[in-house]
Structure 1
Amino acid sequence: MPPTVPLLELPFLAELTAQRRDIHAHPELAFDENRTADLVAAELTRYGLEVHRGIAKTGVVGVLRAGTSGRMIGLRADMDALPLCEMNEFPHHSRYQGKMHACGHDGHTAMLLGAARYLAGQPDFDGIAVFIFQPAEEAEGGAAVMIEDGLFERFPVEAVFGLHNWPGIPVGQMMVMPGPVMAGTCGFEITVRGHGCHAAMPHQGVDAIVTGAQLVQALQTVVSRNLHPCESAVVSVTQFHAGEAWNVIPEEVVLRGTIRSFKPEVQETVERSIERLCSGIAAANGAQINVHFDHRYPATVNSTNEAHFCQRVAAEVFGGEHVLTDILPSMGAEDFAYMLREKPGCYVWLGNGPGTGGCTLHNPHYDFNDELLTLGVSYWVHLVRRFLPKA
């Protein structure tokens, strides 16, 4: 099926590209997106939107009304950067040491600004479009904070939609699927307490390092031996902290890592399995082991009706053969999940290109592909028009 609507011609594309690159050059971390929020609010005001600020501290919401309908749609973009040193040398590289837009939130913000600008100039829909510019996606759950601050009470959208650029998918293609598309994430910290002693006299102590090493190995069986083979989860140990002296067996070891899963019941099984291993290995070694779980983002799960709606919209914009509907979800996490727990909606991936030369997410050589600006704006505009059609 070929595209049935043409890509938009954006007379302001050069300006939008410059805005994207300006945001890239000035990255800001969670809840500190003050410059970015100022830019967004100023632009929305310039387009004639009703602007609301201070939701989740630096969040910005723009409201555009057209026609007489009270129906309301929400579109969301994330604004924050990562605590990462950029290694690119192009002119719009980060000006802030240790901060970088390595995930494309600069592009997401620019695309949503472009959609707001286009629709403000051509408001050919009937209803209310709510443009949500969210802080703190990367680590601090800004979506949840916006919801706690009354986002959906103040703007009671029928459905909410999100978009992320995706290296590895060709430009001009989009992934749209119902069901889980991003995993939930949970951190864990395991403290192993033994009995410290001289390294030459290990029989006088309880070796927390040996105990911790056994636990690291055993944790690799949690998924393979406790879950149905068709279920998905990942348990990764990412930190092992122990000791300070070369001739002392330390008293304590601390392990940290993450759990990724798509279903609450799978998460529960993984946690109980970890607790059981900790108890057994502690008893076998005469040590004490305590585990703490830090539940972070839930799984991002698209509602069926809204996903099918977005598939139709994407097919009309990109052509049916360029809409991916049956690919593996990602074990990465995304706090748009909180919005999808409150409202029906759909989160899509827009192809960013092959991801060669380090242009992958969270890589110090990453950059958003500016070819996507017209594609993303076209998708957002057509989505609003199809969701809120004129009579």
Structure 2
Amino acid sequence: MKIAFYGSSLLSAYWNGAATYYRGIIRALAGLGYEVTFYEPDVYDRQKNRDIDPPDWCRVVVYDGTVEALQRVAAEAADADIVVKASGVGFEDDRILEAVLAAAAPGALRIFWDVDAPATLAELQAAPDHPLRRALASIDLVLTYGGGDPVVDAYRQLGAHECIPIYNALDPSTHHPAPPQARFEGDLGFLGNRLPDRERRVEEFFLAPAARLPLQRFVLGGSGWGDKSMSPNVHYIGHVGTADHNSFNVTPKAVLNISRESMARNGFSPATRVFEAAGAGACLITDYWEGIEMFLAPDREVLVARDGNDVVDILAALTPEKADAIGEAALRRVLSEHTYADRAELADAIFRRHVEMRRTEAAE
């Protein structure tokens, strides 16, 4: 089957947190025989900051950031069996949604794939006339990369026919154990861009513990933190390219996952970095969110902190031997249960069920 997928970017992870998810899911779907074309706009300097070349498992169409170009690529949805509009394209999202739904063939499966459900739902709930909210009746299926019952129930209340989470996962070909790098050495590492929805939690879970543990070394990676006040034992290294993420994860004694406020509040929303760290065999400390045990076993495969005090206590008691054991256990778990191949099999079953339903309805 052919999939026309309209998203933010497959080729660039630059200010594009969904890149790893897109790549993992689409590559695994291609392995199941799907022919995927990914349409991404040339905006936000992403094309100047590509971190992969166009892959052989997906056709990528980059279009100019103009309405005319948008209309041209949206028309290609007519040739697809499955049409996907993702959230957060970042360029004329509402217009893209309208155009691809209008262009989709009568028998095509229409999907809205939400890669930031808490943010999208907040918009929809605040605006009864939101274009996506009006379009839900003509969309066959909402897929999300996070969120359990709260997200599913919210989408159904807004009029979605069906909502199913397809969670983040691991692509072992891109995220795996790697040699350490001296510049990442430390007791705790955190990698994340500075965002309003995350900053307070970074202060609580990373910067405050660092100030209380002056003899330990904290390594901060990501964009936007240069003017942030931090204690002398925090070593800010700026942007870390995706090619170095594996080394960043394995070099410190432990690495930290800090969810955005909205993700933590909704729960059941493991970030890509959870699986990236586990896939590298890193000892991961994560802030608490409901549903963590669905993915990794607390205390055995991941360490869970409910606040900054917990982070201090965990680091004070964490030996290199225990850190290694947790990382090894996490790696075994994600390889056995949480790869993108696993997620693609679920998506494939969902697609085939819906396609068969449409065929049955058409025959009646």
TM-score by length of 2: 0.29
Q: Larger C-alpha radius of gyration, 1 or 2?
A: 1
The structure richer in helix per residue is 2
TM-score by length of 1: 0.27
More RCO (CA 8 Å, sep 6+) = 1
